[in-house]
Amino acid sequence: MFSLISEPWLPVLNNAGQRKKISPLQLADDAIIELDWPRADFQGAAYQLLIGMLQIACAPQDEEEWQTIWEEGLDPEKLRQGLNAIAPAMQFGKQKPSFLQDYSSLEVDNSSISGLLIDAPGGNALKLNKDHFVKRSSYIRFCPHCTAMALYTVQTNSPAAGAGFRTSMRGGGPITTLVMPQEQNQPLWKKLWLNIIPQRVSLESSQYPLVFPWLIPTLSSESAANKVTPDNAHPLQAYWGMPRRLEIDFSTTESGECDLCGEPHSDLLTQIRSKNYGVQYEGWLHPLSPYRKPLKDVTSPWLAVKGQSGGLAYKDWLGLMVESEDRFNYLKMAEVVRIHGDRDDVDIKTGLWCFGYDMDNAKARCWYEHRLPLSLIPLSMLRLMESVLRQSIELATSSLPLLRQALKEAWFENPKEAKGDFSLVDIAFWQQTERDFRHLWLALMKHPDPIAPESRSALRRWISDIEHYLFSTFDRQAFTNPEESNDLHRILTARKKLAKEFNKQKILNLLRELSIERKEKVDVQK
Amino acid sequence: MSRNDTSQALIFRDKAACQVLNDWFDSLQERGRYDSASRINGRVWRAQLRRAEFPHSIMVTDGYHHLAHQLNRTMQPKDLHPLALALFTAVVVHASKNNQDGSFAQQLGVKINDRECLSRLRFDRLLAARTPDELCSRLIRAIKLRGELGVNVVSLADGIFLWMQEWFARQENRELEANPFHRNSVRWASEYLLSTPQK
């Protein structure tokens, strides 16, 4: 049994590059610059856990107080008081209530502790011998520190896993966006502090059960009526969701080395008990995730943006930073990003750190992590650039299907019947045109006024970059066999059609018009 | 990038060299022309070339030597391979005139009486030629089909020289040109297609 507040359980790096373990009470130390978990998903989850702790323990009342602390540092004493107040909820061990675990004892059979890991093969994968990439029995013994982190990670990302296994309050495998300094060697507490939201009312201890769901018997979801919403819970429960009913078996232990961090421990945990119908969340807007909803249906709820194959491309950037819309959806940035966008006197350059799982129900397809290579810019400026950026992205979005279609027509006698996965074309497109898009973005940042000659010439360059990409990719991918001349007619016909369709696009003509040098104006007035 | 002008010559870029080709072809139509001191009879050259067997008999004709001599002054030796020149002379003598309206492959695709001058099937066979001999006989057939319309002499020479460069590269297992629009088959097919819109 240990307390997540006072136990030194967080692996960190200090500014000399040394690794050690600290407790959250030591967070105010300027010399500590980074967390150092052995897994990327733990690293991302640990940030969210600590942001949640600070949000409860010492959230500022308003922006001014936020700014004062930013400049003067966290007061270790205030931090200690705030964290100690929530210590009763932060116990981890056999005795209930225990951190993120069910209040009652679960009457089910034990299973392997690897079930806490999101990418571990599930029951069906084991039965059908489908554990090709992540093998069974790779992770069977966890030290208590890693176990606590794994528990938080699975509850935060909670993917769908069969009947009654509830997803996290943002759905399965949400994308998290955190505001981060561009310089990596800033103190850890500052990296966390950038994501703290001012909060007028402080938390009373009587409200704890509304924030930490493990302090009371689980509001299980066998009945559809039993939903947890921001109205019948506390908004801060967002950081402490508990969609899974889990119980760690603290009595079955082994000594040895932890399979995750590799450190020796006398009481490694090996077994858990898990049950379906945990807490079902509805109607939450998590402060650390961007959201979207379809243009067609205004009544539908906001859905957190999820990981997708290929990761986040620059077409998604705008939606991560500002309220906007694309062809299909309204997009809304995470609340922490919105609040940070209004802060204009932070003395360091910031950017976005985006991460999350790409899940196919219970199957983890990939973990994606992006550091957006762009500094967050003031909202007012972003709004000025927004429409040009959106149209520029639309040019890319609408040109890509033309390329995919042209390649199919070049490759196959009957392109309509061609089966196969063409997503490689898409993924390559978004990744390989990103550099050009960044040029455009930077040029527009310098000259956000779309009428400025510089922004117009950047736009012209973007158009020709896209065109160049389409045709050079087509040529490279279609004329693959210099010895074979049989298919040349087909390839060349496809290429001709690509040129025609590309130039026919409405958005292209609109952008071309926008980008034309404005010399004729005088003539028009005559 | 979407506009790759395949009708622009790749090898015969030099105006002087083009001039040599055109003059030489013109001289084939004349019986008496004086070139510096000596009198040349182009009709005799043409008759010799039309009868000579490709490649070796071609290379011993006066017409071939005269052209080789003239081109040597304007072109790099690496671009002027004897076999390529022999192929060109063997083929071009069957043309009835030098028609500079459009590129050679484009001329093959031009519709006459609602049908391509050279049918799609024949054109594909032309592209599929594996040896200089095959190419030679298929080109002669194509040029004869053009009949009175004639062919673009410089453009024909450019295609033949490029084809031979690629053929040598294959013989020596060298890498072929990476840019498809610098490969002869793609260039010819593109030109041919340009003059016969599909669908």
Do you know the residue count of chain A? 526
**Residue among B1, B185, B193 minimizing CB distance to A472:** B1
**Of A281, A305, A337, which marks where a domain is finished?**
A281
Which residues, 6+ apart, have CB-to-CB distance to A69 below 8 Å? A60, A75, A193
The 3-state DSSP class for residue A140 equals coil
**CB-CB neighbors (< 8 A) of A508 in chain B:** none
Q: How far is B17 from chain A (nearest CA, A)?
A: 29
In this structure, the answer to whether residues A275 and A409 fall within a common structural domain is no
Q: How far is A461 from chain B (nearest CA, A)?
A: 13
| Type of residue numbered A344 | D
**Residue among B3, B128, B190 minimizing CB distance to A492:** B190
Q: How far apart are CA A278 and CA A525, in angstroms?
A: 70
**B189 vs A482: CB contact, 8 Å cut-off?**
no
Q: Is A53 a member of any domain? A: yes
Q: Which listed CATH number (1.20.1250.20, 1.10.150.120, 3.10.100.10, 1.10.520.40) goes with B15-195? A: 1.10.520.40
In this structure, the answer to whether residues A222 and A73 fall within a common structural domain is yes
Task: Using alpha carbons, list the distances in angstroms from residue A173 to A45, A153, A161, A221, A367.
Answer: 12, 10, 12, 20, 9
Q: How far apart are CA A22 and CA A522, in angstroms?
A: 69
**Of A248, A281, A314, which marks where a domain is finished?**
A281
CA dihedral sign of residues A259, A260, A263, A269? negative
Q: How far apart are CA B181 and CA A68, in angstroms?
A: 64
- Per-residue model confidence as pLDDT tens digits over B12-48: 998 999 999 999 999 998 877 766 667 778 889 999 9
**Residue among B2, B124, B186 minimizing CB distance to A486:** B124
Q: Is A342 a member of any domain? A: no
**Residue among A478, A492, A499 minimizing CB distance to B189:** A492
**CB-CB neighbors (< 8 A) of B185 in chain A:** 482, 485, 488
**Residue among B2, B124, B180 minimizing CB distance to A499:** B2
**Encoded tokens for A260:** 């995750």
**A475 vs B198: CB contact, 8 Å cut-off?**
no
In this structure, the answer to whether residues A172 and A25 fall within a common structural domain is yes
**CB-CB neighbors (< 8 A) of A468 in chain B:** 1
The count of domains in chain A is 2
**Residue among A472, A489, A499 minimizing CB distance to B193:** A489
- What's the start-to-end Cα distance of chain B, in Å? 24
User: Residue A224, CB half-sphere, CA atoms under 13 Å: how many?
Assistant: 0
pTM of the full predicted structure? 0.84
For B177, nearest residue in chain A (alpha carbons)? A482
Q: How far is B47 from chain A (nearest CA, A)?
A: 34
Do residues A337 and A344 lie in contact, with contact meaning Cβ atoms separated by under 8 Å? no
**A475 vs B189: CB contact, 8 Å cut-off?**
no
**Of A235, A259, A281, which marks where a domain is finished?**
A281
**A479 vs B190: CB contact, 8 Å cut-off?**
no
Q: How far is B138 from chain A (nearest CA, A)?
A: 16
Do residues A503 and A443 lie in contact, with contact meaning Cβ atoms separated by under 8 Å? no
**A486 vs B128: CB contact, 8 Å cut-off?**
yes
**A492 vs B180: CB contact, 8 Å cut-off?**
no
Q: How far apart are CA A175 and CA A292, in angstroms?
A: 12
Helix H segments across A158-231? 188-193, 208-211
Task: Identify the pLDDT of residue B1.
Answer: 47
**CB-CB neighbors (< 8 A) of A483 in chain B:** 170
Task: Name beta bridge partners: A228.
Answer: A281
Q: Is A245 a member of any domain? A: yes
In this structure, the answer to whether residues A186 and A79 fall within a common structural domain is yes
CA A139 to chain centre: 25
Task: Identify the pLDDT of residue B112.
Answer: 81
Do residues A252 and A271 lie in contact, with contact meaning Cβ atoms separated by under 8 Å? yes
**CB-CB neighbors (< 8 A) of A485 in chain B:** 124, 127-128, 185, 189
Q: How far is A450 from chain B (nearest CA, A)?
A: 26
Selection from A151, A161, A119, A164 nearest residue A138 by Cα: A119
In this structure, the answer to whether residues A140 and A31 fall within a common structural domain is yes
In this structure, the answer to whether residues A267 and A392 fall within a common structural domain is no
Phi/psi of residue B111, each to 5°?
-85, 130
Q: Does B120 touch chain A (CB under 8 A)?
A: yes
Selection from A214, A209, A3, A210 nearest residue A101 by Cα: A214
Q: Is A353 a member of any domain? A: no
The 3-state DSSP class for residue A384 equals helix
Q: How far is B88 from chain A (nearest CA, A)?
A: 22
Phi/psi of residue A265, each to 5°?
-155, 145
**B127 vs A485: CB contact, 8 Å cut-off?**
yes
Structural domain containing residue A181: 2-281
From first to last of its 526 residues, chain A has per-residue pLDDT tens of 799 999 999 999 999 999 999 999 999 999 999 999 999 999 999 999 999 999 999 999 999 999 999 999 999 999 999 999 999 999 999 998 999 999 999 999 999 999 999 988 887 888 888 888 888 888 999 999 999 999 999 999 998 888 888 999 999 999 999 999 999 999 999 999 999 999 988 888 899 999 999 999 998 888 888 899 999 999 999 999 999 999 999 999 999 999 999 999 999 999 999 999 999 999 999 999 999 999 999 899 999 999 988 889 999 998 898 888 888 899 999 999 999 988 877 888 889 999 999 998 888 899 999 998 666 677 777 778 888 999 999 999 999 999 999 999 999 988 888 888 888 999 999 999 999 999 999 898 888 887 888 999 999 999 999 999 999 999 999 988 877 777 888 999 999 999 999 999 999 999 999 888 766 554 544 4
Phi/psi of residue A342, each to 5°?
-90, -10
Q: Is A254 a member of any domain? A: yes
- Per-residue model confidence as pLDDT tens digits over B112-153: 888 888 998 999 999 999 999 999 999 999 999 998 999 999
In this structure, the answer to whether residues A384 and A277 fall within a common structural domain is no
> Number of A:B CB contacts under 8 A?
51
Task: Name beta bridge partners: A357.
Answer: A367
